[in-house]
Amino acid sequence: MQRRGALFGMPGGSGSRKMAAGDIGELLVPHMPTIRVPRSGDRVYKNECAFSYDSPNSEGGLYVCMNTFLAFGREHVERHFRKTGQSVYMHLKRHVREVTIACDAVLSSKSPYRKQDPDTWENELPVSKYANNLTQLDNGVRIPPSGWKCARCDLRENLWLNLTDGSVLCGKWFFDSSGGNGHALEHYRDTGYPLAVKLGTITPDGADVYSFQEEEAVLDPHLAKHLAHFGIDMLHMHGTENGLQDNDIKPRVSEWEVIQETGTKLKPMYGPGYTGLKNLGNSCYLSSVMQAIFSIPEFQRAYVGNLPRIFDYSPLDPTQDFNTQMTKLGHGLLSGQYSKPPVKSELIEQVMKEEHKPQQNGISPRMFKAFVSKSHPEFSSNRQQDAQEFFLHLVNLVERNRIGSENPSDVFRFLVEERIQCCQTRKVRYTERVDYLMQLPVAMEAATNKDELIAYELTRREAESNRRPLPELVRAKIPFSACLQAFSEPENVDDFWSSALQAKSAGVKTSRFASFPEYLVVQIKKFTFGLDWVPKKFDVSIDMPDLLDINHLRARGLQPGEEELPDISPPIVIPDDSKDRLMTQLIDPSDIDESSVMQLAEMGFPLEACRKAVYFTGNMGAEVAFNWIVVHMEEPDFAEPLTMPGYGGAASAGASVFGATGLDNQPPEETVAIITSMGFHRNQAIQALRATNSNLERALDWIFSHPEFEEDSDFVIEMENNANANIVSEAKPEGPRVKDGSGMYELFAFISHMGTSTMSGHYVCHIKKEGRWVIYNDHKVCASERPPKDLGYMYFYRRIPS
């Protein structure tokens, strides 16, 4: 890679003037005070532009500011120079030489004798010294005939079976000239288990065996016995590209093959809107959501359409600005600049590596992920996450960083009318809340192939007990109409507060749309908990419609003959010791009961939501915290980190334990949440906290001493935190921001999940563009041949103009 100095803004130059480092000479002397040496803690960006996805491999290379250590592509470096006056940059440019690629490929190619004379090759391999006395764990692991995936990442090729514990993990690049993340080697370093066999190479004549300890390919004279330990009969197997197959049994077709359209010839797509996103290690949930988001015109206009203004007015460090990074990502996906057919040198490299199909590189969302996930312990990790939770997290960020009056997330926003009828008095209460997606239950009882499911389950259990290959998968077929009916059916509420009785009573709740959004996001509630509270996933096929009509779910409001319940909040009865504990625990989040947090997290809830649940219920145990989760789990900020400003220090007179109310007189949201969780209206909580300088205990007393206070439906407070303009909305806006209209929709995108829970597996996205479906599988973007619309997890519908 070539490295040169570059000096911008020299007198006599038009725009910018670049010079090689050796030619600058005395001209560099005046700028020496601005040049810094990176210190510990400095973020040095040398691989990616702050405004684009240019890199040292790009045509213009990359310019690294020698003062801020931010990097810029050729198109954006002058913007940084004009804004900061920094003149000295290091120019990084990587050049590819075709002849070098060819020579390197020849030198690293495999021996010809392996293909021409397998017996001779095998005689060259040594017998592993670990083969005769290899330890094999009796852990019940059985390897299926197909559908393998690395246990630590999403890779499904170049997989190695550890012959000691049955772990299936990916190799490194030098294993058989194919890609990998080295997890098989990492596993050996962690465990010391020495031998592994490459899946897909097993035949009656042998297989590829590697010894990590001996650091070479080896022979295992007892391979048949070692494979049989994990349920593999090598005498009846032959190597295939996609998996092991028994000659007499049809392979089990899993959702992995169907959703990723394995076995079909997919044509790569290039150009604007057909750019993939590299997987950073379980980042497919983010990639799938962002591909769907930037297929929506409102998001395209808000960010990419405002690119010059957003970039010109970005902060000095654009890597730490949400709108800049959203714009950068949107432009990277939509411009086509990073989605071009391979050039000559890349084709030569692919041919030399025997990769005959064109390879797509995609762009890396590393900078975007680092910003949107900072301070969030789940999204900032390399663990798999729930795409639905990330979608709500993104909506929350868009809401907090809106550009002026424009808020593209309004296209998802709608009002839900909740009607609760008291079973004793038959009186009703109507309330409205804001939501961003429709959660559709899975009506398992309506499966149309119940007999087939029962027969499959019996065969599967028999196959597992006898260590035989599993039968072909049978998936429950659920009519969409049954799921839609289950959504609108009444729900029993056992602990409903009946203000007419001034006591808890049984009630019946129904939910309907008070407004229809412009874009409807439908989540299939595939993930649930068993009787033992172990997370599980419904393996179902739902005939999701291309055209969706939900006009019949329009809310009707108070009907003739209905009598409303009086709007009286329930009394709060908290034992003195519990009240003291609650107030004490609210002072310092560091005292949260971690055992209760982990109990909830093991049920599959986001870690931060579990921490908030335990915190806001005063460490009263996992059961009480679970009830808090049930009440708040549909809120957009459900999985957001717990933040409590101003705790732990000496409070001034009249200030609450959370710190005094801000200059805008907006009470801390955490304090509002505590009061509303007790059954009070949000506006009551805000009014009480404002009147008591956000002191929680005094606010509760204020509510009881002001029974005349009635909720003003027009009194709505919404804080909109804009990082660019510091805009605070009016205290009394006209109403919730919704774009009501017809309830007729057309499907244009869906996100599918493969795996047993949201904490593992893989996501891909299908989007309908220019009249045809396209599959976005991380960096690979191809024309879809068989879009699996019946296996989706999240569906995106756009309103059909009436």
Task: Give the other-Cβ count within 10 Å of 727's Cβ.
Answer: 13
Distance between start and end Cα atoms, the chain:
58
**Helix/strand/coil for 223:** helix
Q: Alpha helices, DSSP H only, in 652-797? A: 669-677, 682-691, 696-705
Could you tell me the two tokens for 748?
């244009």
Residues assigned a catalytic role: 284, 762
Cα 123 from chain centre: 49
Please report, as a single letter, which amino acid is at residue 617.
T
737 Cβ contact partners less than 8 Å away, ≥ 6 residues apart: 407, 410, 413
Whole-angstrom distance, CA of residue 365 vs CA of residue 278: 7
Instruction: Please state the separation of Cα 216 from the chain's center in Å.
Output: 38
The Cβ of residue 279 has, within 10 Å, a number of other Cβ atoms equal to 21
Sign of CA dihedral 73, 78, 84, 90: positive
Q: Tell how strand 2-7 and strand 62-65 pair up.
A: unpaired
Please report, for residues 40, 392, 396, 739, the alpha-carbon distance to residue 637 in angstroms, rounded to integers and kept in the order given: 34, 7, 7, 22
Alpha-carbon gap, residue 786 to 794, rounded angstroms:
18
- Tell me how far apart the alpha carbons of residues 528 and 545 are, in angstroms, rounded to a whole number: 24
3-class state of residue 163 by DSSP: coil
Q: Check if the beta carbon of residue 405 is closer than 8 Å to that of residue 478.
A: no
Are 48 and 367 in contact by the 8 Å Cβ rule? The answer is yes
What DSSP state is assigned to residue 771? T
Task: Return the residue matching tokens 């717990």.
Answer: 642
Q: Which residues of 316-355 are buried (b: 16+ CB within 10 A; e: fewer)?
A: eebbbbbbbbbbbbbbbbbbebbbeebeeebbbbbebbee
* SS3 of 495-551: EEEECCCCEEEEEEEEEEECCCCCEEEEEECCEEECCCCCEEECCEEECCCCEEECH
Looking at the chain, how many residues does it have? 802
Instruction: Show the beta-strand stretches assigned E in 299-451.
Output: 414-422, 428-435, 438-440
The Cα–Cα gap between 517 and 578 comes to: 43
Is residue 425 within 8 Å of 501, Cβ to Cβ? yes
Rounded Cα distance between 739 and 746, Å, is 17
What is the identity of the amino acid at 543?
Answer: D
Measured distance CA(4)–CA(13) in Å, rounded: 19
- Residue pair 782/772 in contact by the 8 Å Cβ criterion: no
Taking every pair of Cα atoms in the chain, the longest distance, rounded to a whole number of angstroms, is 95
Q: One-letter amino acid identity for 257?
A: E
Q: Which two three-digit tokens encode residue 344?
A: 């000559």
DSSP 91-155: EEE----HHHHHHHHHHTSPPTHHHH-HHHHHHHSPBPTTSTT-----S-----SB----SSSS-
Return phi, psi of residue 217, to 5°.
-70, 140
CA distance 258 to 660: 56
Q: Locate 302 and state its tokens.
A: 């808000």
540-542 and 476-478: which strand pairing? parallel
Token readout for 630 is 């049930």
